[in-house]
Amino acid sequence: MKKVMLVFGTRPEAVKMCPLIIELKKIKDIETTVCVTGQHAELLSDAMSDFSVKPDHDLGIMADCRGLFDITEKTMSGVRALISEERPELLVVHGDTTSALSAALAAFYLSVPVAHVEAGLRTGDPLSPFPEEFNRRAIDALASYCFAPTEECVENLLRERGGGKGVYLTGNTVIDAVRIMLGSSGPDFAGLDGYRTITVTAHRRENLGRKMEGMLRAVRRIIENNGDVRAVFPMHPNPAVRAAARRVFDGCPRISLTEPMHTGDFHRLLARSSLIMTDSGGVQEEGAILGVPVIVMRDSTERIKEEKNGDVIVAGTDEDEIYKVASSYLALLSSKARRKMPETTSDSSPSRKIAELIRSAVTCDGKNEKKYTQDIDNLKFM
């Protein structure tokens, strides 16, 4: 039995890795081991339980953890010990966190091949977001298998890796996450009927402080100047985010400040929304999938595909600019038809494609590898 180990630690990673875990567990000749680093302990376990996925190992790195050095050291030593114990054929990481890079580096030093899910995203600025952009590039430099969500990501990888070996265009597993979550049961937010709903999220480290207050003030002005608008803000647990939200929205009508939501509930809320205002990477993709316009409150985004399709607008972090962009978008909304969510079948499921590529990689039968290489050929990337 070939063993595949997945390592991740944050909520957004869990949302995008769980659909892949579900697919890998269906494959009989692979044993799938799930290791969490314990970074976002509560958010992570909520997200995983939404998908009914349980971790096999928890590195618990957040005890006495003070920043990037501790995350790096603790993840590397924890993953090193686990690899020695479990002896996986392949280690799979996702995205751009420091724990993903540290786990990948530990595997690389132990000569265990690494697969990178959501490979090839780039902002073009090596220092922004910091250190995530570097983390992404470094994981792609050492990974044997890069699973790219979009054609732009494939192009970035071909350029940086000097060719297409190990590069696969698979699509984004977030599509599967949204499909699975919208099929789950839970509140349908019918109480929001009759209003235009804005879902708000904000948490990014680089926005904390004055930028965050400005972003939230822009949201408040939108609500106050549009009597038919309600906003829901599931607040990130970070105390700095909560303090800013309570200060800025004090006395504001028609806003609900809530605890973080279970992923299924959150996706149903997004699906009901007229507009999303966020600085999150994952939420902008989910909005784009659901056909809900997204105002991105960030200075740059690595999600070029979403931005290009016109319904994801990078408004920056300046209060007046966000207010202006969001107001004009709200005015447009009533006349704009909503895009439909793209259908995924089990054949087109990105998680299923990645699971088959992984099976092919660890069992070395090469069949699926050929199939997806041909897909890429057809798209003239190789």
Selected binder of ligand UDP within 234, 238, 252, 339 (CB under 6 A): 234
Task: Give CA–CA dist 186/296, Å, rounded.
Answer: 27
Q: Which of 236, 267, 268, 359 is catalytic?
A: 236
150 binds ligand UDP (CB under 6 A): no
Selected binder of ligand UDP within 37, 123, 150, 280 (CB under 6 A): 280
Closest approach, Cβ 248 to ligand UDP, in A, equals 18
CB of 222 or CB of 289, closer to ligand UDP: 289
What's the Cα-to-Cα distance from 73 to each of 10, 66, 79, 302, rounded to whole Å? 17, 11, 10, 27
What's the Cα-to-Cα distance from 155 to each of 167, 171, 173, rounded to whole Å? 10, 14, 19
286 binds ligand UDP (CB under 6 A): yes
CB of 122 or CB of 203, closer to ligand UDP: 203
CB of 9 or CB of 282, closer to ligand UDP: 282
11 binds ligand UDP (CB under 6 A): yes
Q: Which of 136, 203, 267, 272 is catalytic?
A: 203
Closest approach, Cβ 86 to ligand UDP, in A, equals 27
Closest approach, Cβ 255 to ligand UDP, in A, equals 15
44 binds ligand UDP (CB under 6 A): no
106 binds ligand UDP (CB under 6 A): no
Active site residue 140: no
What are the residue numbers of the active site?
A: 96, 118, 132, 203, 205, 236
